[in-house]
Amino acid sequence: MVRGRAFGERLGRLAFAGTVGLALTIILAPLVLVVWLSFFTNEILSLPPEGYSLRWYGALVGQRQFVSGFQLSAVVALAATAAGLLVTLPAAFALSRGDLPGREAILHGLMSPLVVPALVVGAGLYLALIEFEVDTGLPVTGTVFGFAAGHVLLTIPWSLRLLTANLAGVDPAIEDAALSLGATPVVTALKVTLPLIWPGVVAAALFSFVVSFGNIEVSLFLVQPGQTTLPIAILQYLEWKVDPTVAAVSALQIALVAAALLITDRFVSLAKAV
Amino acid sequence: MAALHLSNISKKFAEVLAVEDLSLEVADGEFVVLLGPSGCGKTTTLRMIAGFIESTAGTVRIGARDVTHDPPYRRNVGFVFQNYALFPHLTVAENVAFGLRRRRRPEREISEGVARALALVKLEGFEARMPRQLSGGQQQRVAIARALVIAPDVLLLDEPLSNLDAKLRRDVRSELRRLQQLSGITTVMVTHDQDEAMSIADRLVVMNHGRVQQIGVPQALYRHPANRFVAGFIGRGNFLAGTPGTDERSFVTRGGLAIVCARIDPGADTLLIRPENIAVCARQVAAVNCFAAVIEAAVFQGSAFDLDLRLSTGELLEAQVAAGPGAADWTVGQVVTAEIDPDAAVGIASTS
C-alpha cells in the first residue's frame, strides 16, 4: 500500500517533470536554433555547419536598413510604451477603484484590440490617419507619432490587464488606512497604491515594449517609402536572401529582450506581477 | 479629543438597510464597543464614523464639527483595521510617520512623534523593520501607534483583536485599554466577541439587523437586558417561556412554576435566569423559588460545576455552582433542590 503510493507519487512527479521539460523545449527550441544558426560560417543554411564565425554580426553594421530599423523600432516602442502607460494607469485605477457604471463593458472595449486581427487594425488605422491628414494638413503617417498612436492600441490590452490584476491584489483597507491618516485620494494613489503595484507597472511597460517592438502587421501600413522598422527590415531581407544575417539580427533582439527581463527582475520580482 | 455624536444615521446599500436610524452619544474620553453578530451593521456604523462610507441619512458630529459629508482625510480620526493594513512597502517608522507627513509637520516633530508612539506600544528598536518581519501582535501595535500618533479626535477599532491567538488577545486587550485610558481618547470599537466587549468597554451598544438593541454599561446589559436577543448575546442564560403572574412579583412559566423575580418588563414573555444565580443543594427544601430537580448532566469545569437540572414540570435549567474543595460533588441522576435567586431573575420581552 505504502509502496504503491510512493510509486504513484514518483510516477506523478516524473510525468510532471516530463511535461514541463517538453513544454520548455517546444518554447525554447526556435530561440536556441536561431542563435545557433547565427554563428554558422556557411551562407546557405545546411546541417551540419561548415564552421562557426561572427561574420554575420560584423556584416550587420554595413546593413543600413537594420540599423535604422532598429532605431525606429526602439523609439516607437518607447513612445508607445510611455503613451500606453499614461492611458492605462488612470484607466486601471478608475476601472478597479471607482464605481463606474458599465465598467465591465469599458474593460472589454479596451481589450478589443486583442480580438481584432492586427492586420485589420493596421488597415483601419492607415485609412483613419490619411483622413486625418487630409482634414488637418498635418503629416502623421510615417511619423513616430503616427506609429506610436497605432502601437498604443496594441499595448493597451496587455497593460490594462496587468495593471487591473495588480490593483485587484491591493487590499482596499491599506488605501483606507492612508485616507484616514489624512492622505487625499491622489496622494494615496501616488504614495501607497503605486508603490504596491510597481512590479505590475514595470511588467506592463516591458510587455508593451516587446509587443510594439516586434509588431509588423500594424507597422506595414504606417511606414513611408524609405522608412523601415526592424521587423519590416527583416521581412524585406528574407524576401531576397536566406542567410544567417537575419539569424544574427534575431539573436541580437533576443539578447536585448532577455537582458531587459533579467535586469528588471533584479529590481522588481516579475513573477509576482504577471 | 472630542465627543462623538451620531444622530439618526442610516445606511442603505441598494435596497438593503444595513444600519437603521442609529443614534449614539459617545462622551469625550469614553470607550464604547459596538457588539453584535456579523451583518448587524456594526462595521458599517464604524465606517460611517470614519467617512469610508457616507450615511444615507442622519448626521455625524465630532466635537462641534459636522463631518457627515467630509471625506475621511478631513475627519481626523484614527482607524485600526482587523488585518492591520500596514503599508507593506514602508518601514515601521515610516508607517507611523505617514499621518504626520500628510500634515506637513517639521522633520524633528515627526521623528519625536514616531519615537513617542513606538515607545507607547513598546516597539522601540523596531523602527527600521518592514511590516512583514513582525509578528501579528507587533503589526497590530504598529497599527495602533500609527493611528494614535496623529492625535485623532476619535479612535476607531474594527475587530482589532480577532486575528490574534487567544493568549495574545488578552495581552493586547489590556494593552489597548491601558493606552486608551492613558491617552484619554474617545474610542469606538467593533467586535462580535462579548467577553472582549465586556472586559474593555465603558459602555456597550448591542446591535442586530442594523438596529440598536440596547445601550448601557456592561453590568446593566448583563443583569437587565432589554430583550431576549441582548440576553442571549451577552452571557449564558436560561430562558423560560411564560406569562407574568397576577401579583406582579412573580412569573408563571409554561410548565406552571411560579417564580418570584426582581423585575418584570412590560410585555414580558420570557424569564431570564443566569446559570450562576441558581443555587443547588442535595437536601429537600420547601421555600420561595426552591424547586425539586434531577441532575441530567454534570460537567466539572475546575472552579465550577455545570449542571443540567430537569424540573418536575419537564423544564430544563442550566446551573453553574462553585466547585471548591469543600463543596459537594454532583452526580447524574441525583435528586436535588434548585433555588433561584429572586433578585437575579428578570422577566423580559422576546422582542422590543
Q: Using CA coordinates, name the residue in chain A closest to B143.
A: A177
Residue A194, pLDDT score = 92
Kindly report, residue by residue over A98-109, the tens digit of the pLDDT: 777 788 888 888
Cα separation, B298 vs B321, whole angstroms: 10
Kindly report, residue by residue over B227-251, the tens digit of the pLDDT: 889 998 888 899 999 998 888 788 9
Q: Using CA coordinates, name the residue in chain B closest to A185.
A: B73
B81/A177 Cβ within 8 A: yes
In A, which residues are within 8 Å of B82 by CB distance?
Answer: 173
Q: Under a CB-based contact definition with an 8 Å cutoff, are residues B138 and B169 in contact?
A: no
Q: How much of chain B exceeds pLDDT 90, in percent?
A: 58
Stretch A180-204: mean pLDDT: 91
In A, which residues are within 8 Å of B77 by CB distance?
Answer: 180
Q: Does position B159 have pLDDT exceeding 70, yes or no? A: yes
Long-range contacts of B132-139 (CB under 8 A, 24+ apart): B132/B88, B134/B92, B136/B84, B136/B163, B136/B164, B136/B165, B136/B168, B137/B164, B137/B168, B137/B171, B137/B172, B139/B84, B139/B86
Relative to beta strand B203-208, strand B335-340 is unpaired
B83/A173 Cβ within 8 A: yes
Q: Using CA coordinates, name the residue in chain B closest to A176.
A: B52
pLDDT band at residue A4 under the 50/70/90 scheme:
low
- A186 part of contact set with chain B, CB < 8 Å: no
Stretch A260-264: mean pLDDT: 80
- Could you write out the DSSP letters of every residue in A9-69? HHHHHHHHHHHHHHHHHHHHHHHHHHHHHTTBS-SS--SS-S-B-SHHHHHHTT-HHHHHH
Give the SS3 label for residue A150: helix
A181/B98 Cβ within 8 A: yes
Residues 6+ apart with CB under 8 A from B47: B53, B158
A54-68, B250-264, B274-288: least confidently modelled range? A54-68
Rounded to the nearest 10 degrees, the angle between the axes of helix A144-168 and helix A103-111 is 140
Q: Is B141 exposed, middle or buried (0-12, 13-18, 19+ CB in 10 A)?
A: buried
Q: Does position A50 have pLDDT exceeding 80, yes or no? A: no
Kindly report, residue by residue over B32-51, the tens digit of the pLDDT: 999 999 889 999 999 999 99
CA distance readout (Å), B46 to A196, B33, B218? 26, 10, 20
Residue A2, pLDDT score = 54
Stretch A261-268: mean pLDDT: 76
Q: Which has the closest alpha carbon to A151: A69, A233, A89, A73?
A: A73
pLDDT band at residue A250 under the 50/70/90 scheme:
confident
Q: Under a CB-based contact definition with an 8 Å cutoff, are residues B189 and B201 in contact?
A: yes
pTM: 0.81
A182/B150 Cβ within 8 A: yes
Q: Does position A24 have pLDDT exceeding 80, yes or no? A: yes
Residue A263, pLDDT score = 80
Give the SS3 label for residue A100: coil
Q: Which has the closest alpha carbon to A252: A35, A27, A67, A18?
A: A35
Stretch A74-79: mean pLDDT: 88
B75/A180 Cβ within 8 A: yes
pLDDT band at residue A206 under the 50/70/90 scheme:
confident
Residue B78, pLDDT score = 93
Across the A:B interface, residue pairs with CB atoms under 8 Å apart total: 64
Residues 6+ apart with CB under 8 A from B96: B113, B114, B117, B118, B142, B145, B146, B149
- Could you write out the DSSP letters of every residue in B93-152? HHHHHHHHHHTT--HHHHHHHHHHHHHHTT-TT-TT--GGGS-HHHHHHHHHHHHHTT--
Residue A270, pLDDT score = 63
Kindly report, residue by residue over B54-101, the tens digit of the pLDDT: 999 999 999 999 999 999 999 999 999 999 999 999 999 999 999 999
A173/B85 Cβ within 8 A: yes
Tell me the range of A66-70, B210-214, B259-263 where mean pLDDT is highest: B210-214
pLDDT band at residue B121 under the 50/70/90 scheme:
confident
Residue A148, pLDDT score = 83
Relative to beta strand B186-191, strand B31-35 is parallel
Q: Which has the closest alpha carbon to B250: B225, B268, B274, B230?
A: B268
Q: Under a CB-based contact definition with an 8 Å cutoff, are residues B187 and B31 in contact?
A: yes
Q: Under a CB-based contact definition with an 8 Å cutoff, are residues B127 and B91 in contact?
A: yes
Residue A26, pLDDT score = 92
Residue B39, pLDDT score = 86
Q: Using CA coordinates, name the residue in chain A closest to B100.
A: A181
Instruction: Supply B215's cell numbers.
Output: 445601550
| Residue B320 dihedral angles phi and psi, to the nearest 5° | -125, 115
Q: Under a CB-based contact definition with an 8 Å cutoff, are residues A252 and A56 in contact?
A: no
Q: How much of chain A exceeds pLDDT 70, in percent?
A: 94
Residue A65, pLDDT score = 79
B87/A174 Cβ within 8 A: yes
A177/B85 Cβ within 8 A: yes
CA distance readout (Å), B233 to B204, B228, B237, B301? 12, 8, 10, 22
Q: What DSSP character marks residue B295?
A: E
B150/A181 Cβ within 8 A: yes
Considering just the CA atoms, what is the radius of gyration of chain B in Å?
Answer: 25
The angle formed by the CA atoms of residues B85, B180 and B78, to the nearest 5 degrees, is 35
Instruction: Supply B11's cell numbers.
Output: 445606511
Residue B239, pLDDT score = 92
Tell me the range of A5-19, A176-190, B329-343 where mean pLDDT is highest: A176-190
Tell me the range of A86-90, B16-20, B96-100 where mean pLDDT is highest: B96-100
Stretch B207-219: mean pLDDT: 93
Give A209 to chain B, closest Cα distance, Å: 27
| Residue B330 dihedral angles phi and psi, to the nearest 5° | -120, 145
Residue A238, pLDDT score = 79
Stretch B275-286: mean pLDDT: 88
Q: Is B184 exposed, middle or buried (0-12, 13-18, 19+ CB in 10 A)?
A: exposed
Residue A274, pLDDT score = 58
- A136 part of contact set with chain B, CB < 8 Å: no
Kindly report, residue by residue over B129-142, the tens digit of the pLDDT: 999 999 888 999 99
- A184 part of contact set with chain B, CB < 8 Å: yes
Q: Which has the closest alpha carbon to B174: B150, B141, B215?
A: B141
Considering just the CA atoms, what is the radius of gyration of chain A in Å?
Answer: 23
Q: Which has the closest alpha carbon to B205: B219, B221, B227, B181?
A: B221
Q: Which residue has the cell 403572574?
A: B245
A231-235, B195-199, B323-327: least confidently modelled range? B323-327
Residue B351, pLDDT score = 75
Smallest Cβ–Cβ distance between A181 and the set B52, B83, B99 belongs to B99
Cα separation, B111 vs B100, whole angstroms: 9
Q: Does position B1 have pLDDT exceeding 70, yes or no? A: no
Smallest Cβ–Cβ distance between A173 and the set B81, B103, B146 belongs to B81
Q: Under a CB-based contact definition with an 8 Å cutoff, are residues B317 and B338 in contact?
A: yes
